[in-house]
Structure 1
Amino acid sequence: MQLTHESSLLAENLADAFAARKMNVASLGNMVPQLHIHHIVRYEQDPAWPAPVWGRVPARAYTAEEVQEIRQKLQVLMTNEMTFESS
């Protein structure tokens, strides 16, 4: 229950911070030996929209400016918006 609560809170905050059209949240474990959860912000202008992001188009590295912008948004999100507490 705690994982679901925290994942939902993170998805809501990511959607707000990045103005997402929708969020893809998936728990996977097929490529690595442990469970991990992806929270992917999606936009209608995504090259793979509305399909999954994997395998549709070749990966493209972020520019240094894009990385900096993402880091700034995440830093604000993780320090100001998110508080995880036990239920």
Structure 2
Amino acid sequence: MEECLLDDFILDRRLESDSDSVMQTGLCDLRLSKDARWPWLILVPRRANMTEIFELTPLDQVLLTFETEMTAAALKKITGATKINIGALGNIVRQLHVHVIARFEGDANWPGPVWSFGKAEPYEAGKRDEFIAKLREALSS
């Protein structure tokens, strides 16, 4: 397997335009979706040319699992969500990324999926910044 250097990593344009970076973890760029209807985080492993979890090295697979669970627990803690949805689909954006989404009974499409439902609603800058600060605090404790 060809080694994927961090220096070769380039974030997919759609991920870049549809989300804001929250922080760099050991492996991933943790990002917040710009759709305010759901607290929606995206973990993007900073490895070049990855499309599938099984393409990662065994160590990176462990790191991704750890960072996904850490992110999910922090999201549940700060939102009090009914359910945390985790998925790595990649049908539209091929670059490997994992969605971690807080869902609530009665949210915009409960209990249906968030993908391709309605029109995205942008965050108010202050609310986005406040949410990111809470998330960073939860992930650093």
After TM superposition, the score normalised by the length of structure 1 is 0.78
Gaps of 5+ in 2: 1-60
What is the distance in 1 between the residues matched to 2:118 and 2:92? 19
Query: Which amino acid is the alignment partner of residue 76 of structure 2?
Result: A
Secondary structure at the counterpart of residue 80 of structure 2: coil
Query: Does structure 1 residue 13 correspond to structure 2 residue 59?
Result: no
Residue aligning to 1:67: 128
What is the distance in 2 between the residues matched to 1:73 and 1:65? 12
Q: Structure 1 residue 31: deviation in Å?
A: 1.6
What is the distance in 2 between the residues matched to 1:23 and 1:35? 19
Q: Where has structure 1 moved over 6 Å in runs of 4 or more?
A: none
Residue aligning to 1:39: 100
Q: What's the RMSD between the two structures over aligned residues?
A: 1.6
Residue aligning to 2:12: none
Residue aligning to 1:23: 84
Q: Kindly, what percent of the aligned residue pairs are identical? A: 39
Which string of whole-angstrom CA distances, capped at 9 and with x for unpartnered residues, describes residues 4-48 of structure 1?
Answer: 233123212211111111011001221223221000111113111
Which string of whole-angstrom CA distances, capped at 9 and with x for unpartnered residues, describes residues 33-64 of structure 1?
Answer: 32210001111131111111122221111112
Question: By percentage of residues, which structure has more strand?
Answer: 2
Number of paired residues? 80
Query: Which amino acid is the alignment partner of residue 123 of structure 2?
Result: Y
